Homo-oligomer: A and B are copies of this chain.
Amino acid sequence: MEYKFSERVLSLKPSAIREIFKYAADPTYISLSAGNPAPEAFPAKQLGEISAKLMAENPILALQYSTTEGYVPLREHLKDYMKKTHNVGRDFDDLIVTSGAQQIMDLFTKSILNEGETVLCEAPSFIGSLNDFRSYRAKLVGIPMDTDGMNMEALEKALQTERNVKFIYTIPNFQNPSGITMSLEKRRRLYELAKQYGVMILEDNPYGDLRYEGEPLPTIKSFDEDGIVLYAGSFSKVISPGMRVGYAIGPKPVLAKMTVCKQGQDVHTNIWSQVVCYRFMTEYDFDAHLEGLRAIYTKKRALLLDLMEKNLAPHITWDPFNGGLFAWCHLPKGVDMMAFVQKALEKKVCVVPGTAFLTSENEPCDAFRINFSTPTDEQLTKGIELLGETIREMI
């Protein structure tokens, strides 16, 4: 049979970059291309304890159908927690649990974007979100990044000139892939611009708790007195990605539409994992757990910075990253980025070419992404040394 696919998926072209990702699974390669939490960052013992108790005492709760909006105690706890710790949530807002934050990208886009309408996003930005927006035939317009976040002049210009802009997508903290954090001033400006032009903001904050230097900045959602921000929270980087639990906080009418879409997508999120997350947050010292994660990654980041200074500087430079899992590295003029990535691959070290994160893979790009959360210290050391060797051979 000759399959006739929908127009929306026909536009999803397999990426040239996939070829490179294939090597990342090969154990003879050093992968600096993942985005996984460090294995030692999982509270495995505690999650095991909670799950064993749950299955012994109330297995039906974990195994039976549940509600689309999510496990009520988890929803209530997260609402309180996010209000108390981040001043997120007003009377017009509600919270639903999702199958990872990725599902928020999908449900939000499905609920508010018609085919051909525009999403403004950071350039570069998270490939998983961009591909999902594309699957609803969004027109993606990338806004260049300064080292303190999206360029606000470019953003305002896009709001003035682009047609049918539906929302602005941002990862304000330790952005994937750039590691950049948006300044407080720009957060306020972004909010005012969105309000002025009548577009919504999708604030994606998977890394917010993973700050290793400097003071936390308020979320954009904390300014939201107008019901224009949809906030995406995630347990993937702070409890476990394998459990696929995230949460959306936003205006009730928007969440109501997203809930109808979620009903058709997966009925509800795995309830066993929702209960485990709830009990981990409430019966254990969640703050101490976050401190522990920051201690693990602060060390890894320090090691990376040291290695980059020794092996990559001054030829390769990097944007400031005070948290998160990634460093965004710029090659010197005259060095072709794809050629560099290929040459590194020949030395058996994988990084992600920056073009993967642009709205078009054909745009010029001098950068590649390094992940420092997944590799061991030994792998990181060897990997950065090999990248140093690579650049010295190319200049």
A interface residues with partner B (beta carbon < 8 Å)? 1, 3-9, 12, 34-37, 39, 42, 44, 47-48, 51-52, 55-56, 59-66, 99-100, 102-103, 105-106, 110-115, 128, 131-132, 135, 166, 198, 200, 226-228, 236, 240-244, 251, 253-254, 257, 260-261, 263-273
Contacts and interface: CB of A to CB of B under 8 A. Distances in A.
Contacts of A112: 3-6
Q: How many copies of this protein are present in the complex? A: 2
Nearest to A166: B4
Given A51-B55, A63-B243, A242-B272, 8 more contacts: A9-B257, A39-B64, A42-B64, A44-B63, A131-B260, A135-B260, A244-B269, A265-B265
Given A106-B264, A267-B128, A5 B51 contact: no
A241 B65 contact: yes
**Residue with the greatest number of chain B CB neighbours at <10 A, chosen from A6, A260, A263:** A6
B261 A242 contact: no
A55 B65 contact: no
A24 B131 CA distance: 40
Nearest to A56: B48
Contacts of A263: 128, 131-132
A99 B102 contact: no
A131 B257 CA distance: 13
Contacts of A226: 1
Contacts of A270: 99, 242-244, 270, 273
A99 B34 CA distance: 23
Contacts of A42: 59-60, 63-64
A4 B254 CA distance: 9
A203 B261 CA distance: 22
A26 to B, nearest CB: 15
A260 B103 contact: no
A254 B166 CA distance: 30
Contacts of A264: 102, 105-106, 128, 131-132, 135
A184 to B, nearest CB: 23
Contacts of A113: 6
A261 B135 contact: yes
Contacts of A51: 51-52, 55
A110 B6 contact: yes
Given A8-B110, A63-B42, A267-B102, A1 B198 contact: yes
Contact of A100 (B5, B44, B267): B267
Nearest 10 CB-CB pairings of A with B: A132-B264, A48-B55, A44-B59, A63-B240, A242-B271, A99-B266, A270-B270, A63-B242, A65-B241, A42-B63
A4 to B, nearest CB: 7
22 contacts: A1-B227, A3-B251, A5-B111, A9-B261, A37-B64, A39-B60, A44-B63, A48-B56, A52-B55, A100-B267, A102-B266, A102-B267, A135-B264, A242-B270, A242-B272, A243-B270, A244-B267, A244-B268, A266-B266, A270-B270, A272-B273, A273-B273
